[in-house]
Amino acid sequence: MFVSVIIPAAGFGERMGATINKQFLLLDGKPILVHTLERFQLCEAVDEIIVATQKSSFPLIEEITRTFSLTKVKPPVEGGQRRQDSIFNAMNTIDEKADIISVHDAVRPFVHMKEITQSIETAKFYGASVVAVRAKDTMKRATTDGRVQETLNRSALWSVQTPQTFQRKILFDAYANAEKEHISATDDSFLVEQLGISPIIVEGSYENIKITTPDDLLMAELLLKRFVP
C-alpha cells in the first residue's frame, strides 16, 4: 500500500490579511506549513508528500524541506486559482504506485497522528473518509436576508476538517466529474459525494483548527503549548 499526501498551500490568506501568505507565518519560530508537514513526515503510513504552492514560493519550500529534513516531501507543484485546481495539479504528479491519496490543508498544524492513520485505514477499506467533529452550536437554516427558516437537528451535524482520504480511482473520478459538470468546491469530499459515494466520518478533535483569521492565530499559539501529536 502506497500513500500519497497532498498539501494545498497555494492560497493567499485574504481573510488573515497578513503581509505574507498565512501558511508561512511563524508559530513558535517555525512556519505553520512546517508544523503541518512534520505531522505527515512522522507518520509511518505516509510514503510521499506533495505541496502545491505559488511558483514564487518554490525556493522557500525547497529550503524548508532541507532545513527540517522532510525527506518525504517531493519537489513542489504549482497551485491554481482555486484550492481544487491546486489539488488537481498535485494529483497529476503523485507516484504511479499510489493507492491512497490523502488531502490536508497546509494551515491545519494540529492534526493528530491517530486522525491521519484512521483516515487512511478507513479509506483503504471503504473508499473515502473525512475527519470531522460533532457540531457544538445549534445550527439554523436562514434566508439570505437573515430570517430563520429552520432549526437543524444538531445530533446529525458535523463540522468537516481534513485530512480527507480516498482510494486513488475515486478521487480521480471525482475530479474528472467536477471538471465535466463544472462543479466548484472547497471540500474534496463534496466532489466525491457527487459520484454517489458516501465518505465515512472519522471522529477527530476540536484542536484541528484551520488557521483562517487573526483570532485563529492567537488560538494556535495557545494550542501549541499543550499539543501532543
Query: Where does this chain bind Mg ion (CB under 5 A)?
Result: 11
| 91 contacts: CB under 8 Å, gap ≥ 6 | 6, 101, 171, 172, 175
The smaller minimum CB distance to ligand CTP, of residues 59 and 154, is found at 59
Q: Which residue is nearest to ligand CTP (CB)?
A: 11
Q: What residue type is 2 in one-letter code?
A: F
And the C-alpha cell for 107? 494551515
| CA–CA distance, 220 with 210 (Å, rounded to integer) | 9
Options 11-19, 66-74, 93-101, 118-126: segment touching ligand CTP (CB under 6 A): 11-19
| Closest distance of CB 52 from ligand CTP, Å | 5
The smaller minimum CB distance to Mg ion, of residues 10 and 27, is found at 10
| Binds 14: which of Mg ion, ligand CTP, none (CB < 5-8 Å by kind) | ligand CTP
82 contacts ligand CTP (rule: CB under 6 A): yes
Q: Where are the beta strands (DSSP E) in the chain?
A: 3-9, 26-27, 30-31, 48-53, 77-78, 100-103, 128-134, 140-142, 148-151, 158-167, 200-203
| Residue ranges binding ligand CTP (CB under 6 A) | 8-15, 23, 52, 79-83, 86, 105-107, 210, 212
